[in-house]
Structure 1
């Protein structure tokens, strides 16, 4: 996926642990870890809102677009259309 989560960088800048952030935001440590490692496939706006509030940042500080090869297993063709459509 071309969207990268830069949570580790923000946490380092804020000198905050993932555990502390999880407590402040009300999200499980496991879910924040999935987000931090880039394995999450979706983020709720309420979670993004809480992260920005607690980290005093903008959504663009947490998210970055890094184009690269298409993920395997994606339902989209190279042109961005869903497979099997006409």
Structure 2
């Protein structure tokens, strides 16, 4: 049986934004829209994703996405100040 380390929900809250830099000089920004647990009790984050290309400063909406809280924390480690 596999066990995952418990993930703290303290840093992720509705209205907060997080980002990650991609190799192609783009920045993904995820704004948290909601947090809810599924039928198995696993918390998931619903967020709005935008992608900014740093060279052209163009911002593209990428839609609403859902990730488990643990995966969201790994994918978007830095919060927007």
TM over 0.5: no
* Bigger-Rg structure (1/2): 1
Structure with the largest fraction of helix: 1
- Indicate the structure whose relative CO is greater, using CA pairs within 8 Å and at least 6 residues apart: 1
Q: What TM-score does the superposition give when structure 1 sets the normalisation length?
A: 0.21
Structure with the largest fraction of strand: 2
